[in-house]
Amino acid sequence: MSRAKPPEDRSGNPRSAAGNSPAPVVHSGRAPRVPAKLGDIGREVWRAVWAAGDGAYHPATDRFVIERYCELHDRRAALLREVDIDGLTTEGSTGQTVIHPALRYVESTEKEMRAIETTLGLNLEARLRLGIAANAARRTTLDDILGGPDD
Task: For 13-28, write each residue's pLDDT tens digit.
Answer: 666 544 545 556 666 6
Q: Considering only 33-47, 53-67, 128-142, which range has the smallest mean pLDDT? A: 128-142
Measured in degrees and rounded to the nearest 5, phi and psi for residue 89 equal -125, 160
Please give the single-letter amino acid code of residue 82: E
Q: How far apart are CA 52 and CA 97, in angstroms?
A: 43
Residues in the chain: 151
The predicted structure's pLDDT at residue 137: 47
State the average pLDDT for the chain.
82
Contact indicator for 122, 146 with CB cutoff of 8 Å? no
Query: What are the angstrom distances between the C-alpha of 132 and each of 1, 38, 54, 139?
Result: 39, 29, 12, 12
The Cα angle at residue 122 between residues 19 and 27, in degrees rounded to 5: 75
- Least Cα distance to 40 among 72, 74, 66 occurs for 74
Which tens digit of pLDDT belongs to each residue from 67-108?
999 999 999 999 999 999 999 999 999 999 999 999 999 999
| Residue 29 in this model has a pLDDT that exceeds 90 | no
Looking at per-residue confidence, does 52 or 131 come out higher?
52
The CA-based diameter of the chain, rounded to the nearest angstrom, is 71
Q: CA 9 from chain center: how many Å?
A: 39
pTM: 0.69
Amino acid identity, residue 80?
A: L
